[in-house]
Chains A and B, each alone.
Chain A
Amino acid sequence: MNLNFKNESFRDDYTFKNSPESIRRFPFPFNEDKYMYSVNMEPHVPAGPAGHAYNNAIDVDEHFVAEMRDRALVLKEDPLRYLALPHMMAAQWDTLELLMENQAASYPEHFTLEKNGDQWHWINRPMGIDQIFTFGDASTLPMEPLEYITRQAQGDFVIVDQRDGQLWCDAGMVTTQADWSLDFDIGMNFHEWHGPVPLAHEIGVFDRALKFLLNLQQGKPVRRLNWTMTINPRLDTSPENYHKWGPDRATVTPENVGNKVHLRCELQTLWRLPRSNAILFVVRCYLIKMEELVTVPKWARRFHRVLRDLPPELVDYKGLTRYRPTTVEWLAKFDDGQPSTPGIYPE
């Protein structure tokens, strides 16, 4: 598959947009007309119609080069978006191997990995990178292995260590986050970093999810979808930069909803890592404009209904309060009242 990488921005002039193919491959997170938390995990196996974001275990799309450029800008301003506690080195190598192997296997036109024992040769053509290094020897890379590879892979990455029947947030690269901070959460356990989420604790979601993850098996990654909304196609909606994006939420008008309001979907995948026995948590962010979303009639109908009927606690937690009424009103024009078909894929 040959991808046409786009030259676009996720800040300032916000030139990001999706091609028609990119719209159809969007991982739309609602399989029915309402939304409530659930553990909703399923095996991360190839799925969906041809071209869908679920086709490959590690997805690379037309936004790859622009997203990596945006990540580099975030890191330049704030190097603490990448953190790794010292005991996570084995997990760093595990992650590098997983990402290089998957990207090279799924996109051989764009990435190549050659192994000769510990001597590895990595080529990333879209970014013009050609690197020979010794697997397991961090001094042969220009930076730590996790930082090195996550500057060349889309999505945020958190590695959780497993100890004492708990999971601990001990390393990560986080620059495309929906209002949370790795620097704040580093070293926390599973229950601590989910502390702020409303409603879910009461229904026992986190206890069940933790138990499930502690027994996550090698070779059997799982996925779930999460979502929120973002005003302007901004990847870096971090608490540290709240002053830059928070005020945007007051700029939505009936005239600009279609271009300004985005559904932000997180494809979360979880992988048991082989050497470290840690778990890699990939949070891949996909953005879609309302005017792009409504080109798929099923999604237009369904998202209108989901947003209209969302429980107030979730409206508040996801930060949708200011612009939800305007957006629901705009979406109503695209809801023909017909029943919507099951599943997440376009008709």
Chain B
Amino acid sequence: MTINTEMKVRVAQIAQVADKVKRFRFERADGQPMPVFSGGAHVIVSMRDGKALRRNPYSLMSSPEDTVGYEISVLRVENSRGGSAFLHEKLKEGDELVLSQPVNLFAHDHRAKKHIMMAGGIGITPFIAMMDQMEREGAAFELHYAVRTRTHGAYWKELQQRYGKHRVKIYCDEEKLFIPVADVLANQPLGTHLYVCGPAGMINGVLGKARELGWPKQNLHSEEFLAPPPGKAFQVRLARANRTIDVAPHQSILEALEANGVEAPYLCRGGACGQCETGVVSCDGELEHNDHFLEPDDKASGKKIMICVSRIKGNAVTLDL
């Protein structure tokens, strides 16, 4: 017996908060309270878009203690696989969607003497909930937030008003201002933790600099949800179920399984959590590992694959499913 804890919600409000960024507020259709969550948590939003069922992870940005509704902010991306285009262009106030329970893969360390957050663009969203919780818990924090232009950057004015300019610092690409990573990281008190959320290049740059400066790995945290990269079509053979399923160029293996009624475990759908790790029986082709979860040895072994973001270059892969 499994517990179905998915929540049916109604879109209570849609607001344009910056160029290409919309905020969505969801309230439960049955009037029950939303669960309290921890800053940094995300939910999976399930969207029925015509025939397609889309399930994407989005960080929660509302106050973790707000049990009336959850809020997310979504950037309209150019080459949307469908999720951001659907949310921006088709979803209307009053429509119904399904949310998962909150899952946190980006929790702050409660032992920290101080928290430093670095956000790039839409990577700001988990930090909005985190700061709300840190402020409530009386924790010391500062935010360094890089935006392309002042009109692209969401929420920076509100955050500066709420927490003060000494704790919320804005850097605008257009004004040739960049986060002075090395200066910020130098001379922090012992027990400071660093959190980074933004594009892959930014995360790698900041974490690399921190390691160079001798920061312990345990004090560094980052989150990046990967969209499953497209590729060529291939086939998945399910060894135990004795079935063959086609994976389309813009589909992940997980999505192809779900579209064919096969239930597979998942949590983040972004290559981070490890829940969808699946055994590879054989592969006629080359595995393309796109996740952040498997160790290099595991990737090299060819025996495991994270089906939410990884695929193959070739004809067919046989999975232990």
List residues of chain A with CB within 8 A of the CB of B136: 136
Q: Report chain B residues within 8 Å CB of A276.
A: 38, 110
**B35 near A274: Cβ-Cβ < 8 Å:** yes
Interface flags for B140-152 (1: CB within 8 Å of A; 0: not) read 0000000000000
Tell me how far the C-beta of A213 lies from the nearest C-beta in chain B, rounded to whole angstroms: 12
Closest to B218 in A: A164
Contact with A along B10-39 (1 / 0, CB 8 A): 000000000000000000000000011110
- Of A42, A91, A161, A275, the most chain B CB neighbours within 10 A belong to A275
Contact present for A43 and B1 (CB under 8 Å): yes
- Which residue of chain A lies nearest to B265 when distances are taken between CB atoms in the complex? A215
The smallest C-beta distance from A112 to any residue of chain B, in angstroms, reads: 19
Distance from B5 Cβ to chain A, minimum over Cβ atoms (Å): 4
One of A138-146, A216-224, A234-242, A331-339 contacting the partner: A216-224
Q: Is the CB of A220 within 8 A of B101?
A: yes
- Bound CA span A231–B102, Å: 44
B64 and A220: CB pair below 8 A? no
Label chain B's interface by main secondary structure. Answer: loop
Whether, in the assembled complex, B267 has its beta carbon less than 8 Å from a beta carbon of chain A, the answer is yes
Check: A211 CB closer than 8 A to any chain B CB: yes
Establish whether residues B35 and A162, one from each chain, have CB atoms under 8 Å apart when the complex forms.
Answer: no
A219 vs B102: C-alpha distance in the bound complex, in angstroms?
9
A85 CB to nearest B CB, Å: 8
B94 to chain A, nearest CB (A): 26
Given A163-B109, A219-B35, A275-B64, decide whether A43 and B103 contact each other with a Cβ distance below 8 A. no
Query: Given the interface contacts A163-B218, A215-B275, A275-B64, does A220 sit within 8 Å of B5 by beta carbon?
Result: yes
Closest to B65 in A: A275
A43, A214, A218: the one within 8 Å of B37 (CB): A218
Report if A274-B37 is in contact (Cβ < 8 Å); known contacts: A163-B218, A217-B103: yes
B290 at the interface (CB under 8 A from A): no
Hey, which bits of chain B sit against chain A, CB under 8 A? 1-3, 5, 35-38, 40-41, 64, 101-104, 107, 109-111, 133, 136-137, 217-218, 267, 273-275
- Residue numbers of A with Cβ under 8 A of B are 42-43, 45, 47, 87-91, 136, 161-164, 211, 214-215, 217-220, 274-277
A163-B218, A215-B267 given; name 8 further pairs at CB < 8 Å: A43-B2, A163-B109, A218-B102, A219-B35, A220-B5, A274-B37, A275-B38, A277-B107
Query: 13 pairs across A/B with beta carbons < 8 Å?
Result: A45-B3, A90-B137, A91-B110, A162-B107, A211-B274, A217-B5, A217-B103, A218-B5, A218-B102, A219-B101, A274-B35, A274-B37, A277-B41
